[in-house]
Amino acid sequence: MIFLFNFYTKMNPKTGGDENPSVEERAGVVREVGSNAVWSLSSCKPGFGVEQLRDNCMDTYWQSDGTLPHLVNIQFQRKTTVNQIYIYTDYKLDESYTPSRISIRSGTHFNDLQEVEVIDLCEPTGWVVIPIKDIRDKAIRTFMIQIAVISNHQNGRDTHMRQIRIHSPIEGRNCPIAPIENYGNFSSVQFLQYSTIR
């Protein structure tokens, strides 16, 4: 049984562009698991679909083509641990197409999705980091994530999202490894043998 938050939270996600999902990926703390999922959208303009949302290019984007809410469905073939979702938006370029309220939902399929987080954004430019946790403050295990755009800035009808990345913690790596410099300089031969990983 998955215990999820099922109420609205007015959280302040990390925004501002200085967050970068690839930093944690390169450090070996998390892995990007979006490539292990099947992605679908509630709607899209031709040429502005899932491929653009996942191409690692900030100049391309998904553009919806329908009524709110706009949905991004991410379905995994096996139960997957998810602890963060990164969404790249650019209010300066997209203006009224930029999401202002996003709901994150989780479950096993479309019929049992529960709301995990509701995020209010104010003119975001850059990566928005959304931590995904259960009531015990642990990463969730799920078969499906749904990202729902509830409203846009300036009451815009359609939405733009430039990139989405889904992070899963690497087992046994709860915290990043500190550089060896943080442990001081070893002066004896016995200690120097432990200064590098073999």
- Residue 16 has a pLDDT of 53
- Residue 183 has a pLDDT of 54
- Residue 192 has a pLDDT of 62
Beta strands in the chain (DSSP E): 30-32, 37-41, 62-63, 70-82, 84-90, 99-107, 114-120, 125-131, 140-152, 160-161, 163-169
Residue 123 domain-assigned (yes or no): yes
Number of domains composing the chain:
1
For the chain, list residues with pLDDT below 50. Answer: 1-12, 174-176, 180
Residue 107 domain-assigned (yes or no): yes
Residue 162 domain-assigned (yes or no): yes
Residue 196 domain-assigned (yes or no): no
Residue 187 domain-assigned (yes or no): no
User: What residues are paired with 149 via a beta bridge?
Assistant: 70, 102
Residue 28 domain-assigned (yes or no): yes
Cα distance between residue 35 and residue 27, in whole Å: 19
Residue 8 domain-assigned (yes or no): no
User: What residues are paired with 164 via a beta bridge?
Assistant: 87
- Residue 165 has a pLDDT of 98
CATH code assigned at 46? 2.60.120.260
- Residue 13 has a pLDDT of 57
Cα distance between residue 58 and residue 105, in whole Å: 25
Residue 27 domain-assigned (yes or no): yes
Range of the domain at 65: 21-173
- Residue 194 has a pLDDT of 66
What's the predicted TM-score (pTM) here?
A: 0.79
* 38 φ, ψ (degrees, to nearest 5): -100, 125
